[in-house]
Structure 1
């Protein structure tokens, strides 16, 4: 017969109050000798009860009465915290989620690190507390390898907007990519005098009106180049195939919120072999949008799947990941990369139609994603998945665009590959005001006054995108001067956005 379970063994499970010591010993040794449970099974059962006393208190089992006593303590605020030894005795979770094939997969639960990984913050003094707290949580994930927070950061879902997170090489976090997968900037610089904007504003407004579509229901019939729809990946999974027709109809359109297509003036400040434009002033077209309904539906589907499969503490729930060595992880990776190609094609479609209408060809196009995940290698050789949610790739020789607002300038930048920033930069100025607060506090008069003073014409748009809701872009650029080199400055003049009655809140 096994020797008695001792009080010392019981106390390794957690900080059990003295008044329950005798009861725990009686129950444990009763299970050991009368029920003839192995020692490990007894301690494991007690650990499970301490982990979920309510479940055991309200069900008929061999520790019901003990569980009721523990649950009564819990309800008075005296919870017994399970020790690390106790946690090791817990069995794998018995929950399941179901793939479309009907195949059951076990759910895994994870704890956060006891302390976050160190990470760099750029422009900390004007980053809201909510974004800092979210980054702290992200850096505490067991799969996190490195992180950085850009100066335009503000609170989002899971990873803050402006957050950069490197995870282990076989894990991807859908919510750390974002809802609008592959949201993207694209700039076409034309060999047209900048004063064309003053001479032909009606023509330029007409090209925007005729060759752009915005909003949830925005679709186009005529396509300039639909070759992206011939990619074999459209047949890769049921989720993708079900969204293909919608994606085709929306090819060449823009979303809501902060998405725009605008005419402006680009001033090239210094010659750079990568940009390849002489110093001077040019007319340019700048657009901002992503993968439309296709990307949004992919994000929602796989974010929910990740949260079903990977259970995390409440504050980290939206940071659930998918393993890339699983079917669903590979499905998401294929869909995300397809959304990237589709988002790029969206911009090219818009730019090509407008350029064709003016009988012009761009001298140079600059473009970049800022809601995406890449397979990258850190400076120490570690292979990672790099999530940039509202952050611009800024590796050595990366060209990118960081916009301001509808009246404030944007900048063409060249990355410096700063290791502490994980070769990243901001994706814009960053919000200082929520959409709800903007709609409740900014008037149309305020917006019109700002537009008039800046000499900007706005087509569509709403108060939640007024320039007052954004940080000072010059300050944001200054905070990342070690991350990027400014090559050119873009000043908006004619701005097209979604009409006010077709807007919905956007995360980025």
Structure 2
């Protein structure tokens, strides 16, 4: 039986087509142009898949799935390598939470460093001064490979690596306490490879651009510079990006341990966590087989959605989030969206909305409601319900989550 498809086919002159799961959701002209530029690269295999949260990004379009043949585009992976989500279902129910959620939020904020401050302000509040045991244990599994990478690329060593492991970061990174439809309590968080991933991504993007000046004359956008298999930096990048993805996964696991331990200090009822747990990247590259061909698939703001595979699609602060099960749709390279997707820049959101708007939009959520988080206001994002409807041939919803506590980076 043929699988029903829900995409629009966008033909690109001198390039592969773009299949767009964007029925009922807006797409900016700039994002469309970025997709077309990527589609014209000679290394792209078959077509590009655009998810319903697609929007303009630095380097490549956020919400895009780009399969490449024997080549890799560092700027498409980006600098928040391995950024993704983790969610844990607990044995707690809504009635087990305290009436005042302020102390729970405070406990989580104390347990996990978050945010950042300018270098001139002294020690970075978003890193550990003395890493806890959980961080040390996770770093011990990563350090040998990191040291080997640093022998070839010493500038990557002078980064916040060990001291950033188990920390949240800034921007749209968050930790939430959520309730599902049955009232079960979940912990959910969003973060990536922090400063060290940024250093790896930035360094190899620069190398790719220099390489392109020598070998790739007709790039539609210099940010789409790529390494071909067998080239000088290809193997080094694959090794470094693979390590950063391991760091990102471990970062989320350490934070989740810290969040659960913090919650146990505030919630008096004993509980189990990890009843069901999902840990998935949404900014990464992996070797996969599609349409009978071994390819490198870069998901920039997209989640793997193989048949039966669990994933996480968060809304914005104040909106619903979803635990989903993949349908293994081959046309999207077995992928789905990574969230709602922005409809406007952070700068525009800060100009357009006020603290009063933020307070109204996050009513019922224990979270910051000040001028510094207006750029994360729900209205700066696409309607998550429309986004989910546009990809109903890619995933099915298993749980719908609504946050009651939100900690922003």
Scaled by the length of structure 1, what TM-score is found? 0.70
Structure 1 residue 198, shift from structure 2 partner: 4.5
The CA distance in 1 between the partners of 2:354 and 2:366, in whole Å, is 17
Partners of 1:233 and 1:334 within 8 A in 2: no
- 1:161 is aligned to 62
Partners of 2:341 and 2:382 within 8 A in 1: yes
Change (3 A) 1:357 1:465: closer
- 1:386 is aligned to 297
Partners of 2:156 and 2:196 within 8 A in 1: no
- 1:419 is aligned to 330
Q: In the alignment, is residue 480 of structure 1 matched against residue 379 of structure 2?
A: no
Change (3 A) 1:219 1:196: same
- 1:190 is aligned to 90
- 2:48 is aligned to 147
- 1:121 is aligned to 20
- 1:410 is aligned to 321
**Count of equivalent residues:** 370
Partners of 1:215 and 1:256 within 8 A in 2: yes
Change (3 A) 1:497 1:358: closer
- 2:310 is aligned to 399
Task: Give the one of 157, 165, 185 matched to 1:243.
Answer: 157
Partners of 1:174 and 1:303 within 8 A in 2: yes
Task: Give the one of 365, 369, 380 matched to 1:456.
Answer: 365
Alignment of 1:3-152 (within 5 A): 115-124=14-23, 126-145=26-45, 146-152=47-53
Partners of 1:234 and 1:241 within 8 A in 2: no
Task: Give the one of 49, 61, 75 matched to 1:175.
Answer: 75
Change (3 A) 1:240 1:395: farther
Unaligned runs of 5+ in 1: 1-112, 268-279, 499-508
- 1:226 is aligned to 136
Change (3 A) 1:172 1:222: same
Alignment of 1:332-411 (within 5 A): 332-359=237-264, 360-362=271-273, 363-379=275-291, 381-411=292-322
Structure 1 residue 444, shift from structure 2 partner: 0.8
Change (3 A) 1:240 1:199: farther
Structure 1 residue 129, shift from structure 2 partner: 1.4
The CA distance in 2 between the partners of 1:235 and 1:324, in whole Å, is 24
- 1:50 is aligned to none
Change (3 A) 1:357 1:240: farther
What's the CA shift string for 1:407-439, capped at 9, x where partnerless?
000000011111111111000001111111111
Structure 1 residue 314, shift from structure 2 partner: 6.0
The CA distance in 1 between the partners of 2:114 and 2:56, in whole Å, is 25
Structure 1 residue 329, shift from structure 2 partner: 1.3
Change (3 A) 1:194 1:396: same
Structure 1 residue 206, shift from structure 2 partner: 2.6
- 1:491 is aligned to 402
Structure 1 residue 233, shift from structure 2 partner: 1.3
The CA distance in 2 between the partners of 1:361 and 1:342, in whole Å, is 25
Partners of 2:177 and 2:187 within 8 A in 1: yes
The CA distance in 2 between the partners of 1:315 and 1:228, in whole Å, is 41
Greater than 6 Å deviation, 4+ residue runs:
none
What's the CA shift string for 1:275-315, capped at 9, x where partnerless?
xxxxx331111101110001111111000100110245464
- 1:81 is aligned to none
Q: Secondary structure at the match of 2:59?
A: coil
Partners of 1:240 and 1:335 within 8 A in 2: no
The CA distance in 2 between the partners of 1:336 and 1:367, in whole Å, is 18
Structure 1 residue 200, shift from structure 2 partner: 5.1
The CA distance in 2 between the partners of 1:313 and 1:214, in whole Å, is 42
Identify the structure with bigger relative contact order (alpha carbons < 8 Å, sequence gap 6+).
2
Task: Give the one of 295, 301, 320 matched to 2:203.
Answer: 301
- 2:121 is aligned to none
- 1:67 is aligned to none
Scaled by the length of structure 2, what TM-score is found? 0.86
Q: Secondary structure at the match of 1:302?
A: helix
Partners of 2:349 and 2:374 within 8 A in 1: yes
Q: Secondary structure at the match of 1:388?
A: strand
Unaligned runs of 5+ in 2: 1-11, 117-123, 265-270
Q: CA RMSD in A?
A: 1.9
